[in-house]
Amino acid sequence: MTYPAFEELVRTRRSVRSFSSEHIPDELISKILEAAAYAPSSWGGHPMEYIVIRDRDTMKKLAACKQMGAGPLGYGDAAIVPVIDRRNLELWVEDAAVASAYILLAAEYYGVGACWIHMKDRVGHTGSAEEDIRALLGIPEYYGILNAVSLGMPKDKGKKRSLTPVIHYGKF
């Protein structure tokens, strides 16, 4: 397999919610998370940890932890839940977000479809989505949960777009 160059990679990445029946090799998931380990982090502590879920029953339960917009977690081929020990980490949300962006880009690089599924401050079925996930996966209270990422080999992918940055030179 040939991998895309950076410019092509960022321009073609899309959130993928439609997956083929092809299995993602465990090795590719490891490579995606190895890339995420290099994400910048507050205080340079590289604090992210990841729960990888490939068991269908648990994935469906994870999808059910949020009332809306979490479907791909249940029907994808794998799910990743980034977690972070937020004790003494004021910027844990930012750390988790940057690492998750690395996951999305690395997935694209390795030909894996991925989608950010937001969890923080979202409604679950018994309480907040975070509380439901914490109970499902046994995550300690002092770990923050910003989101999950659904993964699968892409079936349909959104079109390549032409996007331009809004830039203010020198002053707003």
Nearest approach in angstroms of CB 10 to ligand FMN is 10
Distances in whole angstroms, Cα of residue 57 to Cα of each of 24, 48, 54, 116, 153: 17, 25, 9, 20, 19
Nearest approach in angstroms of CB 171 to ligand FMN is 28
Q: Is 25 in the site for ligand FMN (CB under 6 A)?
A: no
Nearest approach in angstroms of CB 79 to ligand FMN is 12
- Of 14 and 54, the one with the shorter C-beta distance to ligand FMN is 14
- Between CA 21 and CA 58 the distance in angstroms is 18
Q: Which positions from 101 through 130 interact with ligand FMN, judged by CB under 6 A?
A: 115-118
Nearest approach in angstroms of CB 115 to ligand FMN is 5
Interface with ligand FMN (CB under 6 A), residue total 9
Q: Are 28 and 37 in contact (CB under 8 A)?
A: no
Q: Is 50 in the site for ligand FMN (CB under 6 A)?
A: no
Q: Are 129 and 159 in contact (CB under 8 A)?
A: no
Which of 4, 14, 75, 131 binds ligand FMN (CB under 6 A)? It is 14
Site map for ligand FMN, 63-102, x if CB under 6 A?
Answer: ------x---------------------------------
CB atoms near residue 39 (< 10 Å): 20
- Helix or strand run (H / E) with residue 56: helix 56-63
Q: For residue 152, what are its two tokens? A: 């699968």
- Between CA 72 and CA 115 the distance in angstroms is 8
- Residues near ligand FMN (CB under 6 A): 14-15, 17, 69, 115-118, 158
